[in-house]
Structure 1
Amino acid sequence: MIAISDLKSGMTFEQDGKLIRVMEASHHKPGKGNTVMRMKLKDVRTGSTTDTTMRPDDKVKKAYIEGKDVQYLYAQDDMANFMDLETYEQYEIPTSVIEDELKFMLENMEVKIQFYGTEVIGITLPSTVVLEVKETQPSIKGATVSGSGKPAIMETGVVVNVPDFIEAGEKLEINTQECTYLKRISK
């Protein structure tokens, strides 16, 4: 059992037969009354999200999630295919379950598949990925890093706000957790 106040973003717990992942969690002290935890929760199996408040001293059963290194092969129809790097066993995950993660994935990329017992429940991306800019507005002469930026469409289709000096064809390091530009990779 784990106290609600100890839950952090990314943790998974069991409640009423459901597998719940914490998307966001924060303490909130209203003007009157006791402190509560405001949380955005996602049902791992159905993908539905809810915003809720809970008492910090309540307890839930922590779900033990195991990870296995795999290689992303391809997506076909509504399934994404992965291969275990040690046993060459292949796994299929519905694209609807990992649609946010697919925005950062290229074929042959290494990720971790998450297992709850023998059930595949999702994937874990590396914290950063290198993607090529496919389309963006022309660069502005004299632009600096501190400018307001512009949107850029990356090779996977994800849109990232980048500095004004970035041009199409450049490779960028992107933070997968926040979908933000980190740096330009030298050619």
Structure 2
Amino acid sequence: MTSISNVSKGSIIRFKGEPHIIESLVHRTPGNLRAFYQANMKNLKTGRNVEYRFSASESVDLIVTERKQYQYLYRDGNDYVMMDNDTFDQINVQELSIGPSARFLKDGINVTIIFSDDGSILDVELPTFVEVEVMETSPATKDDRATSGTKPATVETGAEVSVPMFIQCGSVIRVDTRTGEYIERVKK
């Protein structure tokens, strides 16, 4: 157990029996009231965001974690097979551990897997941006390219991304894995 004042953004704590990652932690001292810490956390099992006020003297259970680099190999049913970059051991990771950003996993992409002290997988972090090829989108006419707007496009991983009108099939684009938004077209 450690004091909430020793916890920072990115720390993983056990809150109400489940692992949560601290996304923001702000110390507040309103008027003549007692100080508290306002925490925004994400439940690593369910993916839900939680907001909670900790008193300044409250203690929390800090989870000891280990971060390791793995390479995505292939999908096996509902699991994703990852290979340890150091030992070449393979592990299966459930889709729930990766979350919605799993739709941008490509063969050979490196991810960071966060393990708890008991060896279970807490979280899988993909790179912030990935470059993917547009496989299918409606063709743009001359008029479409002159106006701003977006259209749906299916990328090589099967995910659907909203892209500008000038993007064509075969274009390589950069996508934010956290939000699924188009960032820019990549020059070849």
Scaled by the length of structure 2, the TM-score of the pair is 0.77
After superposition, the CA RMSD in angstroms is 3.2
CA 1:104 to 1:48, structure 2 compared with 1: closer, same or farther past 3 Å? Answer: closer
Matched residue count: 181
In the alignment, which residue of structure 1 is the partner of 2:53?
54
- C-alpha distance in 2, partners of 1:163/1:65? 41
In the alignment, which residue of structure 1 is the partner of 2:19?
19
Residues 171 and 184 of structure 1 are in contact (CA less than 8 Å); yes or no, is this contact kept in structure 2?
yes
Identity %: 25
CA drift at 1:181: 1.4
Larger Rg: 2
CA drift at 1:184: 0.9
- C-alpha distance in 2, partners of 1:56/1:151? 47
Residues 4 and 54 of structure 1 are in contact (CA less than 8 Å); yes or no, is this contact kept in structure 2?
no
- C-alpha distance in 1, partners of 2:134/2:157? 9
More helix by proportion, 1 or 2? 2
Residues 3 and 59 of structure 1 are in contact (CA less than 8 Å); yes or no, is this contact kept in structure 2?
yes
SS in 1 for 2:107: coil
* Residue deviations 1:68-118 (CA, integer Å, cap 9, x gap): 111111111222111111111111111232242321111121111211122
CA drift at 1:177: 2.1
> Greater shift after overlay, 163-172 or 55-64?
55-64
- C-alpha distance in 2, partners of 1:104/1:69? 17
* Residue deviations 1:101-142 (CA, integer Å, cap 9, x gap): 321111121111211122222311111110111222222426
- Give unpaired runs (5+ residues) of structure 2: none
Scaled by the length of structure 1, the TM-score of the pair is 0.77
In the alignment, which residue of structure 1 is the partner of 2:77?
77
